[in-house]
Amino acid sequence: MEVSAENPVPGSRQKDETGSSDLSAHAAARRYFAKFDRITGYLHKLAETHFRDAAQSAVSKGEVDCISGYLQALSNTFTALSTKYLMTGLVTKRAQAMLEIDRTDSGFPAHREVLQMANDLTQADRHINTLPEQQRIKSEIVDHILRQHTIPRPLQFALSQRIYYECLQQQQLFLAQNDPVLSWLGNNGPSRRKFLIHWAVYDSHRNLPNIYVMTVEDSGDRPLHRDDERWPLVQRHLMAQSLSTLKLLTIASGFDKDFKDLHPKSLKRIHVGPMYSNTFTSQRNDIHNILAESGGEPGQDWLLVWTSETLVSKETKNIRSGLFGSVPQEIFALDHTDAAAFDAGASDIERSLILPYRPYQALLAGQGPTLTQYKRYVVGPDESVLAGA
């Protein structure tokens, strides 16, 4: 058996009472995973295109690398889920498994699906040890077909689960929480070390992957990556603050206050999604009009949003601490002329769309006036990703 493949966009429908729905038909589940298999491939190309001009500095290059790593992990997560639900609609109801997705806000799998996958990962060894080897199951499938002339669904299900648990063991996955990772970028003087810290979460409020990248200067006595006291505290602090409802200014200012010898110079948060599709999500107004223009053509009826929020420090000031002491404090740049960025506690917000050329033509024809402020990337007929007008 072969295994195949902070703001909603204006016009998206608000979440209903349950906020999610599931896919019970085999064909629908396979179409959903095939669509995301293509989209995650486009996201890799988008990351390269989006940061191409900025990739001259070491910091920007580091950002590109870690973002690409999380996108690959996200792709691996979809591959694993695709295998887990490979037999949707084909096995008995008692063994029936259905993927639950957020149809109204994100188009991505529900947060509980990613949590369950993390739980499955902790038990993968036990399942691998109790399930037969792939080759043995395949031989039994062939033997069953030759002898009984029927399709052995239970054996196919067993094979899909064997492959699923192997995938969990062998692939780097995008989990509900992906703990901070530290990279040294060099020194700014004899007592200042520069680090890139990155981490990611699958946000439970919006059912979306969020990627965080922060550059930090370290003036501590010991380098952060060798400090067994500070680094665990930093990791716990950052994960506790990784909520899409928190402003970047709140996260960065809290970090600056709690760690006197760590100085956040920039903080970036990337929301991957939502994904809208005529087939799998509910939407109205502009998005509905744009996707409807594709006529439901396979591979053309989708649109994915990519939002990048950035906060940068413009200067460092010493503020009084106690009677005679002082501590450095970062002063972050906020653009008072950009209402959206200022309200979000960010120096800059860039919202982008990636979409196939048919919906893009509808957008150019005026079908999506509320989407004109979005930077657009278009998937051409040759599968290339190009910046749109």
Final residue in a domain of this structure, among 130, 149, 170: 170
Q: Are 225 and 295 contained in the same domain?
A: yes
Final residue in a domain of this structure, among 154, 170, 186: 170
pLDDT for 279 equals: 82
Q: Are 274 and 139 contained in the same domain?
A: no
Q: Count of domains in the chain? A: 2
pLDDT for 11 equals: 46
Q: Which of 286, 306, 264, 297 is nearest to 362 (CA)?
A: 286
Q: Are 144 and 186 contained in the same domain?
A: no
Question: Interior CA angle at 35 toward 30 and 41, to 5°?
Answer: 130
Within a domain: 150: yes
- pLDDT tens across the length of the chain (389 residues): 443 334 455 444 444 333 444 578 888 899 999 999 999 988 887 776 665 554 444 457 788 889 999 999 999 999 999 999 999 888 766 656 789 999 988 999 999 999 999 999 999 999 999 999 999 999 999 999 999 999 999 999 999 999 999 999 999 999 999 999 999 999 887 788 999 999 999 999 999 999 999 999 999 999 999 999 999 999 999 999 999 999 999 999 999 999 999 999 999 999 999 999 888 888 777 887 788 776 656 678 899 999 999 999 998 887 766 666 667 888 999 977 787 888 889 999 999 999 998 888 888 887 777 787 888 899 888 888 887 76
**pTM of this prediction exceeds 0.75:** yes
pLDDT for 12 equals: 46
Q: Are 188 and 280 contained in the same domain?
A: yes
pLDDT for 258 equals: 94
pLDDT for 340 equals: 80
pLDDT for 326 equals: 67
Q: Are 139 and 223 contained in the same domain?
A: no
pLDDT for 4 equals: 39
Q: Are 79 and 152 contained in the same domain?
A: yes
Within a domain: 26: yes
Q: Are 209 and 335 contained in the same domain?
A: yes
**Partner residues linked to 178 by β-bridges:** 200
Q: Are 107 and 235 contained in the same domain?
A: no
What is the rounded distance in angstroms from the CA atom of residue 377 to the CA atom of residue 357? 9
CA separation (Å) from 91 to 110, 132, 154, 281?
23, 19, 7, 26
Final residue in a domain of this structure, among 140, 170, 200: 170
Within a domain: 16: no
Q: Are 228 and 151 contained in the same domain?
A: no
Q: Are 333 and 286 contained in the same domain?
A: yes
pLDDT for 24 equals: 81
* Residues listed for the chain: 389
Domain range for 223: 177-387
